[in-house]
Amino acid sequence: MFRIDSPKTLLFTVLSFSALAGLTGAARVRADSTPVIEITAKRFAFSPEKVTLKKGQTVKLRIHSEDVTHGFFLRPLKLDEEIPAGQTIDVTVTPQEAGTFTTICDHFCGANHGNMNMTIVVE
Ligand SMILES: [Cu+2]
């Protein structure tokens, strides 16, 4: 049975609930504030051509295809996505390694597909 023995116990109980509420509140705010980076895929380029991320900082890549289905492949960041024709996908990534990387379209999209890439810099 739940019983309040003294004002001290009551205070402790109230503080515990406050701390819990505070924690979940903070987590919710953090999830909502993940920076979004917009990228557009269109035969035969990504726009922008280059984005810069921070090592250890979580970002959401929002990739939109303006025409056909494209790929978005970058092994060091464990990215291997497909962006269906005309659609938008969200990919959450936390880069763990600094460097300059080239993302390629790995879904055949036409004659100049082999040159479709963009640069991701992690610093
Ligand atoms: Cu392609």
11 alpha carbon to ligand 1 midpoint, in Å? 62
120 alpha carbon to ligand 1 midpoint, in Å? 17
Phi, psi for 40 (deg, rounded to 5): -115, 135
pTM for this prediction:
0.73
Phi, psi for 119 (deg, rounded to 5): -105, 135
Tell me: the pLDDT tens digits for 12-52? 444 444 444 444 555 555 556 899 999 999 999 999 999 99
Query: In this structure, what token pair is assigned to residue 44?
Result: 């035969």
Alpha helices in 4-119 (DSSP H): 7-32
62 alpha carbon to ligand 1 midpoint, in Å? 17
115 alpha carbon to ligand 1 midpoint, in Å? 8
Query: In this structure, what token pair is assigned to residue 97?
Result: 């390694």
Three-state DSSP state, 27:
helix
111 alpha carbon to ligand 1 midpoint, in Å? 9
